[in-house]
Structure 1
Amino acid sequence: MPAGVLVLALGVFAVGTGEFVLAGLIPLLADDFGLTEGVAGQVVTAFAVTCAISAPVGTALTARWPRRRVLVVAGAIYLMGAAATALAPGFGLLLVGQVVAALGAGVFVPNASVTAASLVSPAASGRAIATVVSGFTIAVAFGAPAGTAIGAASGWRSTMWLAAAVAALGVAGIARLVPRETSIGNPGGLQERLRPLAERRVLALLATTLVAFTAVYIPYTYIGAIFAPATGDDGVRLAVLMLTLGITGAAGNLVAGRLADRHEGSAVVTVALVWLISSFAVIAAAHSAYGSALAAIGFYGVAAFAITTPQQHRLISHDPERASVLVALNQAVLYLAIGVSGVVGAVGLDIVGPGDLVWIAAALAAVAIALSSLGRPKAPAPDSETRAGEPRTERIP
């Protein structure tokens, strides 16, 4: 794999670690600034909502730029935001720093994937994209838990400085290893990128992503509060929980990808959502003891990460020619879901408390199942190629 692709994966790892480690740092931020965990959790909302906006808008505004320039500028903006966060004397300025970081992250991540594909032959583009996306997987499985442990040992500011340092390495590597004039096809301006929102099935699929991932990220965002009885507010124990979640989640994503190739993507999503609801019941019963909490978080991780790939599969199958636009919209909605989870979870902490917060997530997952059914493709009329009564799967042509 070209060095340019590997350095793009490093950049995505840095951005992903900075994003996902926030959940593990919420208890530390709450203690440092004298806040409730619900208020401190709004740092996740600020980052995610900004990403949701900057991803389509920033990418459209920079569509005519060479990709190396886009990536270096976006990475530098993220770096400045991470540094500002580490230096913030108060929570308000910390939020400002995270908004700046998210402006860069929202543009960097989708452009890193498409740039990686342009650096290799068409036959190797899938592997290049997978290599870059693995930066996120490693960030969830190892970067966020390691950052949480470092924060527990040396303070949350040390974690943010580490994220900034890795980002600096990524920006320097991109400036050196990604060709100067690397460019991609221009899918049009912002209006053209938003045009699919006028289609009923696309709206149903994106609504499924929004509600399903709000359910997924409520327990993740407030993992420290939910499992506090098991961890005793020990940051290292919390980091081990996050590591377990990341490892089982990576396995769940791989299995879901294989199943989506063999069955309807909608069927895989439904199974994952039913599993997710079951995992919330397990967490509610097992969040107080550390051993059972580890088992519960692993059970939850499989379902939580098993939704992403089949949802993208459904969108790509719907309109392969506009796949890049549809996947970008799905990514923006996913960021929005992370932001909404921070708000809904904060309200839930005040109303039902951390022990019962998962039941709010379970109710949202049930709604997502209903929305997902609206996104199923219409059954084709029987013809010479499709016999009546023969199931038709959502396969990518």
Structure 2
Amino acid sequence: MPVRLLLLALGTFAVGTDSMVVAGILGPVSADLGVSVPAAGQLVTVFALGYALLAPVLATLTARWPRRRLLLTALAVFSAANALSALAPTYGLLLATRVLAAAGAALYTPTANAVATTLVAPERRGRALATVLGGMTVATALGVPLGTWVGRADWRLTMWLVTALGLAALAGLAALLRGLPPAPAAAPTLRARLAPLGKRRVLGSAGTTLVFFLAFQSVYIYLATAVSGATGGDADRLSVILLTTGVMSVAGSWLGGRLVDRAGVRRVLLAGSAVAACAFAALPWLGRSMPGALVYAAVVPLAGWAVSVALPHRLASIDPGNAPVLISLNSSALYLGTAAGGAAGSAAVAVLGGRWFPLAAAVLAVAACAVAAATTRDEAEGPRRKEAWRAVTPASSQQHCAASTRAAGGGDGVRNRPAGGGDGE
């Protein structure tokens, strides 16, 4: 495996950890800065919202930058922002640093995906993408539990951990990433990136993504509150639950790729949403004991990330020739759903209380299932559509669509042509 791919994956590991680990340290942040847990949860919201809104804009503004310079700039901004997060004396300043970190992440991830395809022969691009996107998957399985454990006494140590990861990737890529192909002469404009939203099927698919992740993240961000009866406030127990969640997210991504090929997108979307809705509804009882919390931590990520494979697969199959832009829209919808999930979860905790707020997520998951059912009724997945999809996207990368939705804010990672970069930059 080329070392440069592993360094790109280290960067996505840092970004993935940063985007999700705050959910595991809401208690320490709340206590240290004197804000409520729902207010602390808005740190996840502003990161996700910043990523969703900045990704297409920054991708357009920097489309002609040399890719090496762009990657190094993105990691420098990302690492500096996390260092500032670790030093932030007030809640307001911490919120501002999360927006800056989101800007660095939105610059880095789609560029890393695109650069990965230029470092290997065409027949190995799927595996290259799988490697880089694997950093996000490993972040879910290992980075978040590790960051939660490190920050159990002082949440600022978690931010320093993410800073160190970003700087390690920056140093490695600065030393080894050279000789990339030149940037493309013409790049999609912001208007061109957003134009597909004018199509009913594309809008319906993106809407399904938004509503599903609104439900999913409204619980995940406040999972420590939902399972407080099981953990008793013990950070080590919470780390075990988050580790289980991460491992099952990897399994869900793997399983989703195979189920989509065998059963079709519609069945995966409907079944996964229904299972998630049932688990959310049961969480007020499951979260009272450690075995119950672990059951929840196994079931929801398995169903949820299987759905997250089906979502971008469905969008790309609508117009295979325009797959990169469509997947970027899916990514933005996902992060908008995450941002809205933070706000919805905060409101649910305030209205329903720390035990019963997952019931709101159950209602949202049912709504996502209904949207998926209504908007996929006429989308029969015949062999022709599947073959068109496979002609655009390498098979091995299809199995990692769940990771790409968390990562590819600009969606360029699945292009069959190089996304650019400057020679010697």
1:12 aligns with 2:12: yes
Match of 1:295 in 2: 295
Match of 2:407 in 1: none
Alpha-carbon spacing, 1:379–1:116, altered in 2? closer, same or farther (3 Å): closer
Question: Structure 2: how far apart are the matches of 1:144 and 1:184?
Answer: 35
Deviations 1:157-216 (A, max 9, x none): 111011101100111112222224444655411111111011000000000000001111
Question: Structure 1: how far apart are the matches of 2:187 and 2:133?
Answer: 21
Secondary structure at the aligned position of 1:76 is classed as helix
Match of 1:161 in 2: 160
Match of 1:270 in 2: 270
The question of whether the paired residues in 1 share the 8 Å contact of 2:226 and 2:354 is answered with: yes
Q: CA deviation at 1:394?
A: 4.7
Secondary structure at the aligned position of 2:63 is classed as coil
The question of whether the paired residues in 1 share the 8 Å contact of 2:260 and 2:268 is answered with: yes
Match of 2:409 in 1: none
Pairs within 5 Å for 1:283-362: 283-362=283-362
Question: Structure 1: how far apart are the matches of 2:379 and 2:155?
Answer: 52
Greater Cα offset, 235-244 or 299-308: 299-308
Match of 2:423 in 1: none
Match of 1:113 in 2: 113
The question of whether the paired residues in 2 share the 8 Å contact of 1:60 and 1:188 is answered with: yes
Q: Which runs of 5+ in 2 are unaligned?
A: 391-425
Match of 2:171 in 1: 172
The question of whether the paired residues in 2 share the 8 Å contact of 1:148 and 1:239 is answered with: yes
Secondary structure at the aligned position of 1:274 is classed as helix
Deviations 1:226-275 (A, max 9, x none): 11111111111111110000111111111110111223212211111011
Question: Structure 2: how far apart are the matches of 1:132 and 1:229?
Answer: 37
Question: Structure 2: how far apart are the matches of 1:161 and 1:235?
Answer: 18
Question: Structure 2: how far apart are the matches of 1:64 and 1:377?
Answer: 41
Pairs within 5 Å for 1:190-339: 190-339=190-339
Match of 2:34 in 1: 34
The question of whether the paired residues in 2 share the 8 Å contact of 1:141 and 1:246 is answered with: yes
Q: CA deviation at 1:391?
A: 5.8
Secondary structure at the aligned position of 2:152 is classed as helix
Question: Structure 2: how far apart are the matches of 1:379 and 1:289?
Answer: 42
Match of 2:99 in 1: 99
The question of whether the paired residues in 2 share the 8 Å contact of 1:202 and 1:375 is answered with: no
The question of whether the paired residues in 1 share the 8 Å contact of 2:74 and 2:108 is answered with: yes
TM-score using structure 1 length: 0.94
Deviations 1:125-176 (A, max 9, x none): 11111111110111011101010011014x1111101110110011111222
The question of whether the paired residues in 2 share the 8 Å contact of 1:253 and 1:305 is answered with: yes
1:49 aligns with 2:49: yes
The question of whether the paired residues in 1 share the 8 Å contact of 2:14 and 2:162 is answered with: yes
Greater Cα offset, 42-51 or 282-291: 282-291
Question: Structure 2: how far apart are the matches of 1:293 and 1:307?
Answer: 21
Deviations 1:8-64 (A, max 9, x none): 100000111111101001111111112111111110111110000111111111111
1:178 partner letter: L
Greater Cα offset, 365-374 or 89-98: 365-374
Secondary structure at the aligned position of 2:89 is classed as coil
1:151 partner letter: G
Question: Structure 1: how far apart are the matches of 2:361 and 2:260?
Answer: 24
Secondary structure at the aligned position of 1:65 is classed as coil
Q: CA deviation at 1:3?
A: 1.6
Identity of aligned residues (%): 39
The question of whether the paired residues in 2 share the 8 Å contact of 1:114 and 1:184 is answered with: no
1:126 aligns with 2:118: no
1:340 partner letter: A
Question: Structure 1: how far apart are the matches of 2:236 and 2:181?
Answer: 42
Q: Which runs of 5+ in 1 are unaligned?
A: 381-389
Q: CA deviation at 1:323?
A: 0.7
Q: CA deviation at 1:393?
A: 7.7
The question of whether the paired residues in 2 share the 8 Å contact of 1:208 and 1:372 is answered with: yes
The question of whether the paired residues in 2 share the 8 Å contact of 1:253 and 1:306 is answered with: yes
Q: Which has the higher contact order (CA 8 A, sep 6+)?
A: 2
Question: Structure 1: how far apart are the matches of 2:364 and 2:171?
Answer: 42
Greater Cα offset, 8-17 or 366-375: 366-375
Question: Structure 1: how far apart are the matches of 2:253 and 2:198?
Answer: 30
The question of whether the paired residues in 2 share the 8 Å contact of 1:263 and 1:394 is answered with: no
Match of 1:2 in 2: 2
2:265 partner letter: G
Number of residue equivalences:
387
1:169 partner letter: A
Match of 1:384 in 2: none
1:243 partner letter: L
Question: Structure 1: how far apart are the matches of 2:375 and 2:117?
Answer: 29
Task: Give every structure 1 segment of 4 or more consecutive aligned residues whose post-TM-superposition deviation is greater than 6 Å.
Answer: none
Question: Structure 1: how far apart are the matches of 2:130 and 2:151?
Answer: 30
Match of 2:376 in 1: 376
Match of 2:406 in 1: none
Question: Structure 1: how far apart are the matches of 2:257 and 2:294?
Answer: 25
